[in-house]
Structure 1
C-alpha cells in the first residue's frame, strides 16, 4: 500500500527528480517538441514554497517517491484567492507507475484535505495529458487556455473544476 504524507524541504530533491522523470515522458504524446523544449525546463522543477506549504504531499512505497502533488488557496502564479476555492498544484506520478492507483490515492487525499479545510470547489490547470485523469476524478472540463511560463513561452492547458 501507499503512504501519503506532507512534503518538507528535505523532499525537494526527490520531487525535482520525479518531475524531471515524469513530465518529459508523459507529456510527449500530447505536446509538440517545439513546446516541450521550452516548457519542460520550467515546469519540471520542484517549487520549494509549494513543497513546504503543508498542503503538498508525497506518495511513497518502500521508501520510493511514486507521486507528488497538492493544493493551495491561491491560484497558480500568485493569482487571487476566492473564498471556498482551492487549486490543484503540480501533480505528477512516476511514469513507471501510471495506472497503478498512485494518482487516484494522491488526488483522493488532496480533495479530502481541501474539503476538511472548508473548501467547496477545486480548480485545476490540467495538461492535455492529464485531462482524462481529472475527468475520471470528477472534474469538469472548462476552457482551453494558454499558461504563460515566461517571455515567449506559452503552455497549452485546460481549466477544470469540481465541487467538493
Structure 2
C-alpha cells in the first residue's frame, strides 16, 4: 500500500500531499474481519488489493485521522462502500485494479446492494471512470496539518 500511495500519486500530488495522504489512506482491518477484503497475487507477490463494506465508513485506514463509523448500511437505501483499493506499481495497467473492483461490486450485489460509492484518489479516478463510476460531488480535499489532499467521491449503480 505504501508503494502504491507514494509512487502512483506522484503525477497528481505534490510531495507534501503524498506524505499527508498517508494520514487518510490505508487498510481498515475491519474489512478483513468482515471478510470483505480481496488480495490478488501474481508471481508470488501481492499485485493488488481492495474491498467493499456494508458499514458506513467511506474511507480511512487503521492509522488514519478519518473517523470510522461501524454502523451497518441499509442495502435498500444506501450504497455499498468500495474501500482501500491499491495496486502495486509493478502491476498497473494489467487489469488488477479492475479485477479487484469487479470482485467488490459482485460481492456487494450479492449482499443486496444496488449501488456503490467510493472516495477516489486522483490516481484512481481514471480507473473508476473506465469502470462506470461518475463523480457524485466535486473534488473535496482532506486537510491534513494544513496540506490539502484532493479526493473525489464517485458512485455507480450496480443493479
SS of 1:158 mapped into structure 2: strand
Tell me the CA shift for residue 48 of structure 1: 2.3
What is the match of residue 11 of structure 2? 29
Is the strand fraction higher in 1 or 2? 1
Alignment deviations for residues 91-134 of structure 1 (CA, whole Å, 9 cap, x no partner): 00010110101111111111101100000110010011111100
- Aligned residue among 138, 156, 159 for 1:162: 156
User: Does 2:77 match 1:83?
Assistant: no
Q: Structure 1 runs of 4+ off > 6 angstroms?
A: none
SS of 1:58 mapped into structure 2: strand
Query: What are the ranges of 5 or more consecutive residues in structure 1 without an aligned counterpart?
Result: 1-18
- For 1:65, the equivalent position in structure 2 comes to 46
Q: Aligned residue pairs: how many? A: 144
Normalised by the size of structure 1, how large is the TM-score? 0.79
- Structure 2 distance, partners of 1:67, 1:112, is 17
1:125 aligned to 2:119? Answer: yes
1:56 aligns with 2:55: no
- The correspondence for 2:87, drawn from 82, 86, 93, is 93
Change (3 A) 1:153 1:72: farther
- Give SS of 1:133's match: helix
Alignment partners' CA distance in 2, 1:75 and 1:81: 9
How far did 1:156 drift? 1.2
SS of aligned partner of 2:136:
strand
Secondary structure, in 3 states, of the residue corresponding to 1:31?
Answer: coil
Question: Alpha-carbon deviation of 1:89?
Answer: 0.5
